[in-house]
Amino acid sequence: MNEKLDQADRDADAGFKALFQSVEQPRPRDGFVERTMLAVGQDTLPSGRRPLQRPWIAPVRWAAVIAASIAAVWGAAINLASVASAFAWLLARTILAPLRLLQFIGTAVDLWGFVAKTGEALGKGLATREASTVLIVVTLIGLTSLAILRRLLVSENESWF
């Protein structure tokens, strides 16, 4: 079944190809491109559109880039000490940037060490007899307050749960 469809598709493709090749393709009249570009250049542009550049602007830009490159190379060749100094500065910054990042990470890790030491000191302070007594007294006061509040809010007929 698929072979019949494949053959039919190939026959149809060959027929369409022969049909399209037999039809002469339309060609634009002489001067079509020039007239179109002239009309586009004279028409008003919609908002947000820029006008086309002049054809001589691109070569002038390339000439300016080439001239600037030549001037930079010439200046570097004349003043090699400044180029070497700038290169050394750039190299130093390139090497120092990751080192500064590592230093920052070390400081951040050290900050967590400070937090751990503070927690340890608080833990040791709370583990004394006096601190334990204060915590037990505060807990008993809180439990007594909750029991009194519950008695005030819940009547005898209502259950807590």
Q: How far is it, in rounded angstroms, from Cα 139 to Cα 155?
A: 25
For residue 67, being part of any structural domain is answered with yes
For residue 89, being part of any structural domain is answered with yes
Quote the pTM value. Answer: 0.26
For residue 81, being part of any structural domain is answered with yes
Q: How far is it, in rounded angstroms, from Cα 10 to Cα 134?
A: 95
The answer to whether 120 and 129 are in contact (CB under 8 A) is no
Q: Which residue has the higher pLDDT, 56 or 159?
A: 56
Give pLDDT tens digits for 80-132.
Answer: 787 788 888 889 999 989 888 888 887 777 777 888 888 888 888 888 888 88
Give pLDDT tens digits for 47-82.
Answer: 887 776 777 888 889 999 999 999 888 877 787 787
For residue 1, being part of any structural domain is answered with no
Count Cβ neighbours within 10 Å for each residue of 134-161 and write b for 16 or more, e otherwise.
eeeeeeeeeeeeeeeeeeeeeeeeeeee
Domain count of the fold of the chain: 1
The pLDDT score that the predictor gives to residue 115 is 83
The pLDDT score that the predictor gives to residue 114 is 81
Query: 107 is in which domain, residue-wise?
Result: 55-124
The answer to whether 52 and 41 are in contact (CB under 8 A) is yes
The pLDDT score that the predictor gives to residue 144 is 95
For residue 33, being part of any structural domain is answered with no
Residue 34 has pLDDT above 70, yes or no: yes
